[in-house]
Chain A
Amino acid sequence: MTTTTTIGKLTASQRHPTRYGSISRGRRRTLYWSYFFLILFVIFFLTPPIYMFITSLKSSAEISAAINPWWVYHPTLSNYVDLLTQKTYLIFFRNSAVVSLCVVSITMVISVLAAFSLARMRFWGSATLAIGVFLAYLIPDTLVFIPLFKTFAFIHDKTGIELINHWWVLVILLPTLTVPFCTWIMIGYFASIPRELDEAALIDGAGYIQMLRKIFIPVALPGIIAATIFCFTVSWANFLYGLAFTTSADQLTLPVGIVTTLIRGDVYAWGQIMTGALLGAAPPLIIYAFLMDYYIAGLTAGATKG
């Protein structure tokens, strides 16, 4: 038989301070190990960018001196000044910015339209199309750039339209890298919007385009932001198409420009190269710093919502 239970108020002597038993000691130990390994990982992951930054503050004299490369003894902003007053670099930056913004606009329009119709309007072949889009995303640019190169050269011979060595060619090409995945993300977001909203809108008299503008886009805004960020990052970072299709210095985008022009012969202006690389990495990093959650949502949306 059970003895009486006493559930009473805490007396002064019963109000012990929290006593850490070995269970929470064990948990704390796991926590310390977690922090330890995570610090190792962070060191591994952040060393290159930090070193980029350190180098960018050094004069070329200090770079070639045989001293500790991990510290800046005489920091200087001369690399930044040189680079930013140099017309070539600014042109690279401008080209990248213009190309990226164009690609983002085009991609988002195409993706949203396509995703809306694939997610909402069942039509013959829509499921096959969705899978087809996904498969197309898996075809890498490295497989496709050679025939495209040939095709563009061919078009140039036949019609005189120059498709090589112009930055706006990238505006045509880069959407192939971004549209499939952005469509995929948007399909996931649109599909998760309950159909009752559609029906309410239809009853209220909205047509399809209005439904898109007034209901879907506002509600799926997080997905749209995530897709936009993804699209921008991919366009900005693109290297292959830029390298293959543009050659004159005034047509290059940033990544291609830095790699090909700042490395002149045997003289590597490392201070400038690192500064250039850091500034080139800045736009995606800044966007990431402010919109990190959307960034991550975009990454995971593809596989988990798919």
Chain B
Amino acid sequence: MAQVALRNIIKTFDRTPAVQGINLDIPDREFIVLVGPSGCGKSTTLRMIAGLEEATSGEIYIGDQLVNDVPPKDRDIAMVFQNYALYPHMTVFENMSFGLRLKKFPKAEIKERVQGAARILDITDLLDRRPKQLSGGQRQRVAMGRAIVRNPKVFLFDEPLSKSKRSTNRSRPRQSMLPTIRSRR
């Protein structure tokens, strides 16, 4: 993992400013949450770190590398989307191993990583299923598995709790995710 630094990040869509000058230094292995009212620019900032949006001005550093001009596929990041964005035509195993297959990892290592992540997320018996056969919570875990398996420099989660069921104890869903994330360090 690596540290992330945002310097004076500004993003305007046409004439509308979405992000108006963010400076952020996130050290290595840190877990931070961006909170704010809807429309304040959280997702946009996240997407800029991912490379899905281009900053209008400012610099983004992942590790020591200036990544403004680096496309998402070369930034060594992983993202869990709000809607999970699982590939519907692939099995859970194939979903999780897609990034590794693209980078031509050896089959044995792919299998090892996927099984490892599946064990942590408790989805080992779902590896042969398709996304449409899974419940929302299971899909979320697969999306997380897809991110974990790549061992990236940065993990990005876009609105990860918006789809969690509200329980009587409000803090429980959030707490159950933290051990999963922390155990990957």
Contact A19/B57 with A2-B32, A10-B17, A14-B10 known, Cβ cut-off 8 Å: yes
Q: Is the CB of A2 within 8 A of B22?
A: no
Chain B CB within 8 A of A16 CB: yes
Q: Is the CB of A6 within 8 A of B56?
A: no
- Which residue from chain A places its CB closest to the CB of B53 in the assembled complex? A23
Number of contacting residues on B, CB 8 A? 23
CA distance A21 to B58 in the complex (A): 11
In the complex, chain B residues whose CB is within 8 Å of the CB of A283: none
In the complex, chain B residues whose CB is within 8 Å of the CB of A8: 20-21
Nearest CB on A from B90, distance (A) = 23
In the complex, chain A residues whose CB is within 8 Å of the CB of B68: 21, 23
In the complex, chain B residues whose CB is within 8 Å of the CB of A10: 10, 17, 20-21
Chain A CB within 8 A of B137 CB: no
Query: How many A-B contacts at CB < 8 Å in the complex?
Result: 52
Chain A CB within 8 A of B180 CB: no
In the complex, chain A residues whose CB is within 8 Å of the CB of B70: 23
Interface string of B11-44 (1 = CB under 8 A from A): 0100001001111111100101000000000000
- Which residue from chain B places its CB closest to the CB of A1 in the assembled complex? B27
In the complex, chain B residues whose CB is within 8 Å of the CB of A3: 24-25
CA distance A7 to B20 in the complex (A): 7
Contact of B56 among A5, A7, A19, A26 (CB under 8 A): A19
CA distance A86 to B54 in the complex (A): 65
Interface of A is mostly: loop
Q: Is the CB of A23 within 8 A of B54?
A: yes
CA distance A34 to B25 in the complex (A): 39
Interface string of A231-270 (1 = CB under 8 A from B): 0000000000000000000000000000000000000000
Chain A CB within 8 A of B131 CB: no
Chain A CB within 8 A of B8 CB: yes
Contact of B21 among A1, A9, A19, A22 (CB under 8 A): A9
In the complex, chain A residues whose CB is within 8 Å of the CB of B12: 18
Query: Which residue among A1, A7, A22 has the maximum number of chain B CB atoms within 10 Å of its CB?
Result: A7
Contact A5/B22 with A14-B8, A23-B69 known, Cβ cut-off 8 Å: yes
Chain A CB within 8 A of B51 CB: yes
CA distance A1 to B24 in the complex (A): 11
- Which residue from chain B places its CB closest to the CB of A24 in the assembled complex? B54
Nearest CB on B from A26, distance (A) = 7
In the complex, chain A residues whose CB is within 8 Å of the CB of B55: 21
Contact A2/B27 with A14-B10, A21-B54, A23-B51 known, Cβ cut-off 8 Å: yes
CA distance A5 to B8 in the complex (A): 10
In the complex, chain B residues whose CB is within 8 Å of the CB of A19: 56-57
Contact A9/B54 with A1-B27, A2-B27 known, Cβ cut-off 8 Å: no
Contact A26/B21 with A2-B32, A16-B56 known, Cβ cut-off 8 Å: no
Nearest CB on B from A3, distance (A) = 5
In the complex, chain B residues whose CB is within 8 Å of the CB of A16: 10, 56-57
Chain A CB within 8 A of B88 CB: no
In the complex, chain B residues whose CB is within 8 Å of the CB of A2: 24-27, 30, 32
In the complex, chain B residues whose CB is within 8 Å of the CB of A6: 21-23
Residues 54-74 (chain B) with a chain A CB within 8 angstroms: 54-57, 68-71
CA distance A27 to B87 in the complex (A): 24
Contact A26/B71 with A5-B24, A21-B54 known, Cβ cut-off 8 Å: yes
Q: Which 5 A-B pairs have the closest CB atoms?
A: A22-B69, A16-B57, A3-B25, A21-B69, A6-B23
Known: A2-B32, A6-B21, A23-B68. 11 other contacts (CB 8 A): A1-B30, A2-B26, A5-B22, A6-B23, A14-B8, A16-B57, A19-B56, A21-B54, A21-B69, A22-B69, A23-B69
